[in-house]
Amino acid sequence: MDFRLTKEEEEFRQEVRQFLQSESELIEKVRWEETLGTGWGESTKELLRKAGARGYLTPAWPKEYGGLDASNVERHIVAEEMAYFVGRMGAVGVGMAGPVILRFGTEEQKKTFLPRISRGEIEFALGYTEPEAGSDLASLQMRAVRDGDYYIINGQKVFNTACHYADYHWLAARTDPTARKHHGISMFIVDLDSPGITIRPLIGLGKIRTNEVFYDDVKVPVERLVGEENRGWEYLVAALAFERTWYAGENIYELEELVDYIKNTKRNGKPMADDPVVRRDIAQLAIEIEVARLFGFRIACMLDKGNIPTYESSMTKLFGSETAHRLADEWMKILAQYGQLDVGSKHAFENGRMGRVLYNRATRSLITAGTSEVQRNIIALQLGLPRG
Amino acid sequence: MDIDFSEEQEMLRKMARDFLTTKCPGTLVREMMEDEQGYPPDLWREIADLGWLGLTFPAKYGGEDGSFLDLAILLEEMGRVCFPGPFFSTVLLGGLPILHLGNEGQKRELLPKICKGELLATLALTEPEGRFDPSGVTLKAVPDSDGFVLSGTKLFVPDAHIADVIICVARTSQAAGETDKGITVFLVDGKSLGLERSLLKTVDGSKQCELIFKEVRVPSKAILGEVDKGWGAIGRILELAAVAKCAEMLGGAQRILEMAIQYANDRQQFGRLIGTFQAIQHHCANMATDVDGMRMTTYQAAWMLSENLPCRKEVAIAKAWASDAFKRVAFIGLRVHGGIGFMEDHDVSIFYRKARTDEFSFGDADFHRDVVSRELHIA
């Protein structure tokens, strides 16, 4: 047992940290792009390419695909540092599509996509959710019909964030409507500029853009089927066990900002940091963030020992996201009326970033990647409670 | 980074679990809750023979040379069954101060007896205000011809009514504004003249006592450590005790979770197992999250203490979380059982009461949140 990083792990962390510190100007611009909510802009893409060139986007991948053959703990360390210095990135190519291609793709697909994902040159948009398939994703209806060298795909997706700035759609579609629902789904890589694809914006709280996407007879070459037909659900679920985690770095950063704010802001003639109630609330958040941090490292440690997380992944995402929401809530409490000022307003604190980004978007992570309610269901079932 | 236990530690855990599951059923625990002494002497002898009392003491004093982390594992297993008896007080509150503060003579005289189960000990720290910080130490120790005279009251002292040795934290001098200076630690014979010991009646059956010191004379050779300089070591003992308590609480919380899952798989209402209802499923998921939070924070702090690393923040995080989480788990766990969970003769109600007692041991959640806020340099 050793709760500290090894000497090598610590050295690696310092190396990553130094890189991120050296890019502080670029990172300011990346944070601004995130604040706007319009998606990855040029600065974000530039940062990802720089990080990718060093292998930091996919450190645990084999070197031949751009990785560093790093351990899962080292991968977690990089992601935590990025979360601390840059904030939430949510890269799909790196986090969801890439790992499936790595495990289940053809050699051709691996060569075509993995190095470019690793170098931050391309991005994928998740193509899962539909109007009638949210939490019950396996009910998805988008239809892919084999026709010679192509699949012809028709249907509709919703809440497919990143479609407006990504290169490829990581698409789940039904190839066998006669099979039981989990056994008729296939995974495809689709060029987002394919004819027949229409992307329309949907704006969420905090002005964050997502999309509804329509497929009208879109032709996708058979080489773009990932793995075997009708086994897409397995790949999707396998990826989740490895990818569902939490990087407490962003919360640690936000808490440090909050501590800074209360030390420098007065209420009733005294710094808010002198208020014992405020101090206790912040201490409680620090405690919860530490639990979230340990949960995240637990996943990485398990993977390095060859143990597949079961309920631990859901628990980590559940607790991390709900802690982040409580932190956002505390920020809004502290900001009081200033929290209601949006980006660009006179008197807004930090350009209104906290109100728009932190609080208005904090609810989102309790819904995406499996709602809190679904995560609790999963935890319960994996702990041995009976199915309904 | 590695969060797994060693093979030897897993063996210790398994052996302890097997032994305790057999020897400490709920019936025994409930019987001992009513019993004044609070433990069966046979069981005490057995655990002494197993080397448990000496687990963390050096071999040269009759111990097993184990680490604090090993002890935490054992305590988790003891917490799982609500082990009845003065193990925590004798080992952590008695043995550790002697080990950390005692001179060679005191260690050689007392530690082997503790390891063999022949000496019971405890720490008298809290006074009527129930505080764990140095300002709470007001019991006076006044020098006389060949020692000190102790006067004052200690309250909520575990197992003091049966302790052979009571380690009393007293105030020998008062420096303005520096309450952690001027504290001296004394070895007091449990049968001392002038010492009135009485057992308090507690809701959870834990043995806690009031000690009234009426001019109790203590010879100079009974001082542990140096005059006026006792708080440093006591502060460290409190960190060890707080995390040790977290380990016990973790065992109890894990047990409640398992009982709830089992019950949800047995009990039927409305034609189906109650575990198929989402409310019950979500209760269990919430309990499991609380338990795992206890597990990660407790063992992080226990490992750091074992390695002698500075860890004031991590200790405070562990106890603050455990104080709140054990209560939540006990409350939800009881409700999952419905009416029978409310009955005194059901095991889950033992843990429900224990969680409210353990909440305050060595500082409640607010006390430790304040420690965290100081460690974060908010003030």
Is some CB atom of chain A closer than 8 A to the CB atom of B86?
A: no
Residue A113 lies in a domain: no
Residue A321 lies in a domain: yes
- For residue A362, the model assigns a pLDDT of 85
Residues of A in contact with B299 (CB under 8 A): 1, 3
Output the average pLDDT for chain B.
Answer: 97
Q: What is the pTM of this model?
A: 0.96
Q: Are residues A218 and A248 both part of a single domain? A: no
**Residue B176 above 80 pLDDT?**
no
pLDDT band at A90 (very low <50, low <70, confident <90, very high): confident
* Interchain pair B297, A291: CB under 8 A: yes
Active-site choice (A243, A257, A322, A350)? A243
Is some CB atom of chain B closer than 8 A to the CB atom of A306?
A: no
B218 φ, ψ (degrees, to nearest 5): -130, 125
Apex CA A296: angle with CA A251 and CA A252, to 5°?
A: 15
Q: Are residues A129 and A215 both part of a single domain? A: yes
Helices and strands in chain B, H and E counts: 12, 10
- For residue A239, the model assigns a pLDDT of 79
The neighbouring-strand residues paired with B216 are B150
- For residue A387, the model assigns a pLDDT of 92
Q: Could you say which of A40, A62, A89 is where a domain stops?
A: A89
User: Looking at residues A48-62, what average pLDDT do you find?
Assistant: 97
Residues of A in contact with B305 (CB under 8 A): none
Q: Could you say which of A202, A230, A258 is where a domain stops?
A: A230
**Residue B235 above 80 pLDDT?**
yes
Structural domain for A321, as ranges: 244-382
% pLDDT > 70, chain B: 100
Q: How far is A262 from A278, CA to CA, in rounded Å?
A: 9
Q: Which CATH class is domain B232-375?
A: mainly alpha
Q: Which of A4, A311, A377 sits opposite B278 (nearest CB)?
A: A377
Label the pairing between strands A124-127 and A168-174: parallel
Q: Are residues A85 and A140 both part of a single domain? A: no
Q: Are residues A209 and A253 both part of a single domain? A: no
pLDDT tens by residue, B88-110:
999 999 999 999 999 999 999 99
Residue A77 lies in a domain: yes
Chain A neighbours among B 266-285 (CB < 8 Å)? 272-273, 275-278, 280-282, 284-285
Q: Are residues A336 and A376 both part of a single domain? A: yes
Find the helix or strand (DSSP H, E) in which B124 lies: strand B121-124
Q: Measure in Å the smallest separation between the Cα of A4 and chain B Cα atoms.
A: 6
Q: Are residues A144 and A177 both part of a single domain? A: yes
Q: Are residues A218 and A260 both part of a single domain? A: no
Classify A105 in phi/psi space as left (phi over 0), alpha (psi -120 to 50) or beta: beta
pLDDT tens by residue, A204-237:
998 999 999 999 999 999 999 999 999 999 998 8
For residue B148, CA distances in Å to B125, B188, B233 come to: 17, 11, 20
Question: Catalytic site residue A130?
Answer: no
Superfamily of domain B123-228: Butyryl-CoA Dehydrogenase, subunit A, domain 2 (2.40.110.10)
- Tokens representing A326 are 């409580």
User: Looking at residues A114-123, what average pLDDT do you find?
Assistant: 97
Chain A neighbours among B 209-248 (CB < 8 Å)? none
- Tokens representing B38 are 């609070």
Number of domains in chain A: 3
User: Looking at residues A137-157, what average pLDDT do you find?
Assistant: 98
- For residue A99, the model assigns a pLDDT of 94
* Interchain pair A291, B321: CB under 8 A: yes
Query: Could you tell me the residue ranges of all domains in chain B?
Result: 7-119, 123-228, 232-375
pLDDT band at A350 (very low <50, low <70, confident <90, very high): confident
Beta strands in chain A (DSSP E): 124-127, 143-147, 150-158, 168-174, 185-191, 197-204, 208-221, 225-226, 266-267, 270-271
Q: Are residues A254 and A351 both part of a single domain? A: yes
Q: Are residues A162 and A137 both part of a single domain? A: yes
Q: Measure in Å the smallest separation between the Cα of A280 and chain B Cα atoms.
A: 6
**Residue A242 above 80 pLDDT?**
no
Chain B neighbours among A 252-281 (CB < 8 Å)? 259, 262-263, 273-274, 276, 279-280
What is the per-residue DSSP string for B168-229?
A: EEEES---TT-TTSSEEEEEEETT-TTEEEEEEP-TT---EEEEEEEEEEEEGGGEES-TTB
**Residue B318 above 80 pLDDT?**
yes
Q: Are residues A284 and A352 both part of a single domain? A: yes
Q: Which of A318, A377, A385 sits opposite B261 (nearest CB)?
A: A385
- For residue B166, the model assigns a pLDDT of 98
Which option is the CATH number for B7-119: 1.20.140.10, 1.10.540.10, 3.40.1710.10, 3.40.50.11400? 1.10.540.10
- Tokens 């000497």 sit at which residue? A7
- For residue A354, the model assigns a pLDDT of 81
**Residue B379 above 80 pLDDT?**
no
Burial class (CB in 10 A: 0-12, 13-18, 19+), A132: exposed
pLDDT band at A240 (very low <50, low <70, confident <90, very high): confident
Is some CB atom of chain B closer than 8 A to the CB atom of A383?
A: yes
Q: Could you say which of A230, A263, A295 is where a domain stops?
A: A230
pLDDT tens by residue, A176-209:
999 999 999 999 999 999 999 999 999 999 899 9
Identify whether the C-beta of residue A356 lies closer than 8 Å to the C-beta of residue A37.
yes
